[in-house]
Amino acid sequence: MPASHKKISEIHHRAERFSGTSGFGIVSYRKGGRHGPRWQPNYQLVVLHRGSVTLLVDGVSLAVKAGMGILLAPGHVEEFQFSRTVEARHSWCQVLPEDLPEGLKFPSFAFHRTAKCPHETMALIRLGLRMNPAAVETRPASALVLAAMWAFVAALGREQEPTPDFNLTAMGKFHAAVESLGSREATLEHLARESGVSRGHLIKLVREHLGVTPMERVWRSRVTHAAKLLRETGLSVAEVAHQTGFANAYHFSRRFRQQFGQPPRAWRIGSWGMG
């Protein structure tokens, strides 16, 4: 085993393991303070307010200065080594992987890169820190954490080099192509052509950004639109299926049940408050 791999393996072996909860926190460290090694199970955004810290992620050193943030990913070993000359203070927000909405995935470029923390993220963290501790593990708390993280990711995205920007543009074209399909037949060839990339590259991009295949994204979009029609119109279930691009009622019902946990007719009755 190469020396570098052996070192990382040893770090993993001696790392602390913690579970944590979705929510916010803030802490101060004395000069020369340390934290870890620890194994990270969550998505966590760390924002440094005062001092500086050298952050080791799987043995790789990253420097974080006051006013900067860094998004950490699950499955890595981290160690914090704080400034020896200035007391350090940092806040954080974190969300458990299982609390992420289905289909939501952070872009790979967002992790383990330092950037100036945007005002929007700072405002959301301040709001989160003022929450009642009893509300920390609630769905609104998780939503607030995700909003803070995505504001940070958006700031990172604006700093990307041309190649990542191209990929993000291709994803934008892909989303537009999906939404413009209507009830027309969806094919991977059409989606790739509209996105300006090859079929293979589109599959790779969509998996990286959304964690699903391009066609799975299409069916989820159609089911979501179908749910809106079921709730807000008097169209029959069969007509809704036809207008949202499903070839038959069986396919529509199967997909709808997978996404919403109920067949279309039962879901509609419940959404109308008649269940």
43: closest CA among 66, 80, 17, 70? Answer: 70
Residue ranges, CATH 1.10.10.60, the chain = 162-275
Yes or no: say if 196 and 170 are a contact pair by the CB < 8 Å rule: yes
Tokens 């955004």 identify what position? 45
- pLDDT on residue 273: 75
pLDDT score of 252 more than 50 = yes
pLDDT for 46-90, tens place per residue?
Answer: 999 999 999 998 888 889 999 999 999 988 889 999 999 999 999
pLDDT score of 188 more than 60 = yes
Q: What is the mean pLDDT of the chain?
A: 82
Looking at domain 162-275, what is its CATH homologous superfamily?
Homeodomain-like (1.10.10.60)
Tokens 């119109």 identify what position? 233
Q: How far apart are CA 260 and CA 271, in angstroms?
A: 12
Mean pLDDT within 201-216:
88
Cα→Cα distances 26→84, 92, 100, 132, 208, Å: 20, 6, 22, 14, 32
Residue ranges, CATH 2.60.120.280, the chain = 3-157
* Fold for the domain defined by 3-157: Jelly Rolls (2.60.120)
pLDDT for 220-231, tens place per residue?
Answer: 889 888 988 998
Q: How many Cβ atoms sit within 10 Å of the Cβ of residue 65?
A: 12
Q: Label residue 241 exposed, middle or buried (CB < 10 Å: 0-12, 13-18, 19+).
A: buried
**Of all helices (H) and strands (E), which one includes residue 168?**
helix 162-179
